[in-house]
Amino acid sequence: MQLPAHGANAAALYKAMNVKMPEQVIDVSENVNYLGVPKQVEEEWPNLFVKIAGYPNEQAEPFRSKAAEFHKVAVQHVVVTNGAAECLMALAQYFKGKDIALLQPTFSEYARTLKQQDCVIHSILAEDFCHYRFNNELLEKQLKQVHACYICNPNNPTGVLLKKHWIEQLIKKFPHCNFVVDEAFMDWTDESESVVSLVNTYPNLFVVRSMTKMYALAGIRLGYVIGQNAEKLRNYLPHWNVSAIANEIGCLCLHDKDFVMESRKTSSKLRSQMVADLQLLGCKVSDSAANFLLFQFQEQYNPDEMFKYLLERGIVLRHTRNYAGLDGKWFRIAVKSEEIWTKCKDELTNYVKNH
């Protein structure tokens, strides 16, 4: 059975599972901010129509400069892309045919884009999923043999936040290896573990950022990559790859500190409650710093039966069949609202009581 490779595709999932889709569905398989876009974007939306007829700026200015200012890096070290997904495609072309290490489990798009460019993938599986810890001896042995290494931080699907110091030690110890650190969910943290500041020191570092999750811009498509060699990725991008509307909206969002702080606060509070509730149900739960959690029920519960049970009741979790090492035995759930979590918790509790 081939399930959708990503969340936010409930209709396709129901079809693949051969389950009738209820009229009302709660989709906690995707991690976009439940608060929606910042109010300023809503207010400015009518004024953005004038941007439709004209070609956008080829360098995605002024968003590019604002992103550089925000992160305190040189403008020439920032390349703006049509979502972080386009950045990953460009990186895969840049590494074409090379040996690449992936810290697993991790975002499936890394492997998909790299395979398209005939790269040889070497998976390094975490020893502890809840804390996303690795055997350093095995990790370092592998890093000696590869051209690049992809690290998702905070990790998708666990949400675990790796230490900046730990990543820097790897970057410093293996200067021959390019490190791609995907920080798509870093803005859900206080940014203290971000490695963006290391770009000025290490030429073998690429940092991928996304505007999708925090600012609910999944339909707009806006991301960027930061690195001393980021400009080389432009060779693999089309002209006018970022729309004028995305450019304008990105500028509105980037410095909306109040919106970010409120989103972090709301998410963190509910995430803590969700962890406690899941642990009371006997689940293993990841030490997440992001707006989602990874959890696993006790062995006596069949994960496939539970997944189907919830689907029949309109609850859509993110399956983990395409995450290395998780094999569908774990589930990812987004942090949304208290009301949504109450409904999810009630159904999970009912499943435990009845099975």
Across 226-254, average pLDDT: 97
> From residue 279, how far is each of 68, 248, 349 by CA, in Å?
41, 43, 12
pLDDT for 7: 78
Q: Are 166 and 109 members of one domain?
A: yes
Q: How many domains does the chain have?
A: 2
Q: Is the pLDDT of residue 44 over 90?
A: yes
CB contact at 8 A, 94 and 233: yes
Per residue in 117-167, pLDDT tens? 999 999 999 999 999 999 999 999 999 999 999 999 999 999 999 999 999
pLDDT value, residue 319? 94
- Percentage of the chain lying above the pLDDT 90 cut: 95
Q: Are residues 218 and 317 in the same domain?
A: no
41 in a structural domain:
no
Does 191 share its domain with 293? no
Convert the pLDDT of each residue in 10-41 to its tens digit. Answer: 999 999 999 999 999 999 999 999 999 999 99
Is there a single domain that holds both residue 173 and residue 315?
Answer: no
Evaluate whether residue 117 is within a structural domain: yes
Predicted TM-score (pTM) of the model is 0.96
- The answer as to whether 325 is a domain residue is yes
* 209 is a domain residue: yes
Q: Are residues 149 and 279 in the same domain?
A: no
Please check whether residues 231 and 276 belong to one and the same domain.
no
191-218 tens-digit pLDDT: 999 999 999 999 999 999 999 999 999 9
Query: Which CATH number covers residue 153?
Result: 3.40.640.10
Q: What is the CATH number of the domain that holds 297?
A: 3.90.1150.10
109 and 207 together in one domain: yes
Q: What residue has token string 């020191």? A: 201
Within a domain: 79:
yes
Q: Quick check: is 40 in a domain?
A: no
User: What region, left, alpha or beta, does residue 216 occupy, with left being phi > 0 and alpha being psi -120 to 50 degrees?
Assistant: left
160 and 300 together in one domain:
no
Instruction: Report whether pLDDT(4) > 80.
Output: no
**Does 324 fall in a domain?**
yes
Residue with tokens 């496939």: 304
User: pLDDT tens across 277-320, in order?
Assistant: 999 999 999 999 999 999 999 989 999 999 999 999 999 999 99
Query: Are 264 and 248 contained in the same domain?
Result: no
Predicted pLDDT of residue 1: 64
Residue span of the structural domain in which 93 resides: 55-255
Q: In angstroms, rounded to a whole number, what is the distance separating the alpha carbons of residues 63 and 168?
A: 28
Tens digit of pLDDT for each residue in 173-192?
999 999 999 999 999 999 99
Terminal Cα distance for the chain, rounded: 24
Whose CA is closest to 215, among 354, 34, 16, 90? Answer: 34
**Mean pLDDT score, 325-336:** 96
